[in-house]
Structures are given as C-alpha cells and as structure tokens.
A = this chain, B = another copy of it.
C-alpha cells in the first residue's frame, strides 16, 4: 500500500461530473490516495469514519465472511464507483472485508466535504439518490437470486445479465469462477458441474477461465420461466 496526494481521482467519478472546478478542488483538498496490488487486503471490517472511498482505477470486491469461513461477495466495485456512502447518512458500522481484484487505486474523500456539497447542490443530492436507488435495486435482485432461485437459475440469470452488457455472444467474466460461485451463493465445485452440464446441453461453450460463449440463449431463458 502506498499513499500520495492526487487530484485526478474525482474526474473518474461520474457522480461529481457536474461540479464546478472550484467545488471539485474543495472536495479533493483533503483527499488521500492509496494504491493496492492485486490480491491485497484493502480493509477488514470497514472503519468507515464517514469517508467516501472512491475506486479510481482497478476493481474491488466487498466480502462478508461467516464464522466457518464461508465467503459471500456483497458487491464488486469498478472504476468510478465508491464505498462508504452508507456511513455518510447512517451511523451504523459495516463489517465487511475488501480486497483488490486487480492493481487498484483508491482515493478517500472527506465525508464532511461531501455532505456540505450535497447540501449546497440539490442536483448532487439527486445524483446520490439515483446511485442509492441503483444500489437498493441491485441488492434486492441479489436477495431474489439467492432466496427464490435454485442454483441453475441463478447461474442462468447471471449469464444472461452479463450477456446484456456484452456486444456479441461472448461473455468475459469480470470475476473468477470462484468469485462467481460466491456471488450467487454456491461453491465453485457446484458451479463447475452446472456449467459443464450447460455445455453438454449445448447452451454454452466454455473457453479458458473467463470466457463463456452463449450458444443457446433460449435454453438458459427457459430455466427462468
């Protein structure tokens, strides 16, 4: 881990795009920049301190770990996304761990500055509400996935979701199969077996560790009916 001052960070955060240069400067004055190597722990049990942790570059996974070591991936943060937004408006502490999935650069922005900015810029408040709404939606989808779908359905749903973001029929997984398994609440062994089964059925074609070619979208969709 390495700390430097860096002003560029805020430019990567869509939510702050509409701020004036002055406002950006004010927010960033007290910001701290940290870098993490792939695999490094960013934190265990988030100490919050009501700051906003912005992923400037790289990718971060937020994980809950049960008493017997089972991992549940809560979210994955990509460039421009941030963490700690809960601590801004609720004083509950979050207990989760965060790891750098790639070489990652994070900047920590003062929560007080953010709150000031929100109070002064209703439009920024709306932006934050939009981000929060998206977060709630994603969480609820996850609850649905884990709660009412069986594992084949969860896999099919995840593949179809990823496919939506892809141009062609090729999915490049943005996470390892091990993380994939954890995200949908199963083990890597079960995921592996199910994917092999999907391949047997001619629905998909596995290639390397991260590539999945969708051959029969309908087959996957039928699982969800």
Contact = CB atoms under 8 A, between A and B. Distances in A.
Contacts of A139: 136, 139-140, 142-143
Given A129-B132, A139-B140, A185 B147 contact: yes
A144 B142 CA distance: 11
A148 interface: yes
A125 B126 CA distance: 8
| Residues of A contacting B: mostly | helix
Interface in A85-114: 85-86, 88-90, 92, 94
A68 to B, nearest CB: 8
Interface of A: 64-67, 70-72, 74, 85-86, 88-90, 92, 94, 115, 118-120, 122, 125-126, 128-130, 132-137, 139-140, 142-144, 146-149, 153, 185, 224-225
B148 A146 contact: no
A180 to B, nearest CB: 14
Contacts of A90: 130, 133-134, 137
Contacts of A65: 148
